[in-house]
Amino acid sequence: MIGIFDSGIGGMTVARAVEQLLPDYSLTYYGDIARTPYGPKSPQTIINYSIRNAEFLLEKGAELIIIACNSASSVATEALRKRFQVPIIEVISPAADRAIQISKTGKIGIIGTKATVKSDIYRKTITAERPHFKVYSQACPLLVPLVEEGWLNKRETKMILRRYLHPLKDKQIDTLVLGCTHYPLLKELIQARIGKRVTLIDSSIETARYLKEFLTDNPEIVSRQKPVRHSYYASDCTETAMKVAERIFSRPMELTVA
């Protein structure tokens, strides 16, 4: 079984992509809604929470764990790999790899939470492969609350996006990584503000693609059970969380509090 955890509900964009791309695998999702958001918190706190989330998934039988949260991927991947035996897949490298493939000018923009931007992980990952590439990062801390409010098409959201994206536009990037699992819900607004020539990279989709390749190369890692089961758990459940979840999946969702 594939285990996926996130700081809350944003990581469901990864779960949805995995459901679509790998329909023959069971998955278990754990969203830490009771402690959300991770983005503004310290690395040590994010590491502690990530260990707890991974333990929950391992108890449920996870044979592989996806960290479906950019903030946790940025600061907790190493700690989880040291502590646990199962493969740990994070959302940074798949998105960084795709950005390297796609960018022609070598000018790449990154938007994410404070934790992600402060970790500087995207720049480090990209320039390790392409030392001459320029990576420009912008923390966008208000986007998660705006998405969770459902303000997906409000004037204020557009203005805030314009303010955040302006410095990246100035740098004439040709590729922009949506470095937070909430941001795909704002994809169209972001595209309109950053300009049509800039290619957006959705870390959710890239991670699901990477997982598919990984399982093709290592088919023994995750066993297939029939019937396929998709189980969704969370540490808390609120109306807003359910609304965002149903917006992501376009179907009624069941979320078990655990």
Residue among 51, 58, 86, 142 that touches its own copies (CB under 8 A): 142
Q: Cα 85 to the chain's mean position, in Å?
A: 22
- CB closer to its own copies out of 225 and 256: 256
Backbone phi, then psi, for 257, in 5-degree steps?
-80, 125
Q: Indicate whether 6 belongs to the interface with its own copies (CB under 8 A).
A: no
Decide if 237 is catalytic.
no
The string over 120-141, giving b where at least 16 C-beta atoms fall within 10 Å of a residue's C-beta and e elsewhere, is: ebbbebbbeeeeebbbbbbbbb
Q: Are 95 and 201 in contact (CB under 8 A)?
A: yes
Among 78, 156, 188, 254, binds its own copies (CB under 8 A): 156
Nearer to its own copies, 99 or 244 (CB): 244
Q: Which of residues 172-231 bind its own copies (CB under 8 A)?
A: none
Q: Which of 148, 205, 211, 245 binds its own copies (CB under 8 A)?
A: 148
Count CA atoms closer than 13 A to 162's CA, side-chain side. 7
Which residue among 18, 111, 180, 190 is the active-site one?
Answer: 180
Residue bearing tokens 């594939």: 2
How many residues line the site for its own copies (CB under 8 A)? 26
> Residues of 171-194 as b/e, b for ≥16 C-beta within 10 angstroms?
eebbbbbbbbbbbbbbeebbeebb
User: Does residue 166 touch its own copies according to CB under 8 A?
Assistant: no
Binding site for its own copies (CB under 8 A): 33-35, 40-42, 44-45, 114, 141-142, 145-146, 148-149, 151, 155-156, 159-160, 163, 235-238, 240
Q: Any idea which residues carry the catalytic annotation?
A: 69, 180
